[in-house]
Amino acid sequence: MFNIITPTYNRKHTLQRVYDSLLDQDFKDFEWIIIDDASTDNTFELVEEWIHDNIIKIVYKILPKNQGKSDAVNFGLDLCSKPYTIIADSDDSFDSNTLSDLKKEWTTIESKQLTPAVASIWTHTKNDTQTINGDKFPKDKWLVGFEERVLNHNIKGEKWASWKTEILKDHKMFSSPFTHIEESQTWNSINKTYDFLCLNIAHRCYYYSPDGIMASKKTRKQLSISSYYSSYYGLKDVSLNQMIKHKHYRHLAFNYAKSRLFYSNKNLKLSFNQLFVSIIIFLFRIPKSILKKIG
């Protein structure tokens, strides 16, 4: 029923968490797809032990060169054969009832034949003290589209999703050879067409990794490149009226204009009118940003 995709790069020391969590699942219809993004820490030795033990089904692929999480996930999607997919990071753990809970919810969704279709089920994450990260959803079993979820509610905190495989295959993660693009831009793009079902429960335990994507130190230019592509994908199909009206889009426009001071890509850029609006928003907000920093 479930594909579990785990992209990994030099996470031999944490990958055991995912394996142990899968062993503990009380629902066993799943396949673990490990995409090794050219690790150099002998991850393959550990995975080969698990494959030899043959307790759970594992598909293991090593990429010829490091390409980043998004490309690794997209590669893994091509190997998925089951109807639902979960992306489990290589340092995660999750509760033993995770898959059985999700099976129940997906079965209910499919029986209702909802329109628009539900692309994913979202749940909360918790830290190692079992405290939920960020905000809860306005209500349990919140069936929601992009406008209500993002433009009308600013739900903060790390969340976790299971996906309809066919939808995720049709909307693979935005990726760039130059930088990591915020995953939320891909999820938001999908949510503009399909609904999400949001549950006020937490299955996944999120661990802070000092050498992870979000924690690693970056130069100003590296930050600008990431901001440029993330804001570009968040704005490329947005009207000028929406850019001005909604705080979410104004924030992206500010980031786009700011990042262009240090980086741009002539093949991936907003229209002239979108750029003009972004610059106006940037110039309007910059005094507030300066005052906030010195205050």
pLDDT of the chain, 295 residues: tens digit per residue: 999 999 999 999 999 999 999 999 999 999 999 999 999 999 999 999 999 999 999 999 999 999 999 999 999 999 999 999 999 999 999 999 999 999 999 999 999 988 789 999 999 999 888 899 999 999 999 999 999 999 999 899 999 999 999 999 999 999 999 999 999 999 999 999 999 999 999 999 988 766 655 556 789 999 999 999 999 999 999 999 999 999 999 999 999 999 999 999 999 999 999 999 999 999 999 876 665 666 5
CB 89 within 8 A of CB 9: no
The superfamily (CATH) of domain 2-205 is: Spore Coat Polysaccharide Biosynthesis Protein SpsA; Chain A (3.90.550.10)
Q: Give pLDDT, residue 292.
A: 62
Q: Give pLDDT, residue 97.
A: 98
Task: Give the helix/strand (H/E) hosting 98.
Answer: helix 98-112
Q: State which amino acid sits at residue 28.
A: K
The answer to whether the pTM exceeds 0.75 is: yes
Beta bridge partners of 197: 121, 143
Would you state the torsion angle of the CA atoms of residues 166, 169, 170, 173, taken in this order, to the nearest 10 degrees?
A: 140
Distance CA 24, CA 168 (A): 26
Of the candidates 138, 139, 144, the one whose C-alpha atom is nearest the C-alpha of residue 121 is 144
Other CB atoms within 10 A of residue 102 CB: 21
**Domain ranges for the chain:** 2-205, 220-294
CB 65 within 8 A of CB 81: no
Q: Give pLDDT, residue 208.
A: 75
Q: Give pLDDT, residue 38.
A: 97
Distance CA 226, CA 267 (A): 16
Q: Give pLDDT, residue 114.
A: 84
Q: Give pLDDT, residue 154.
A: 86
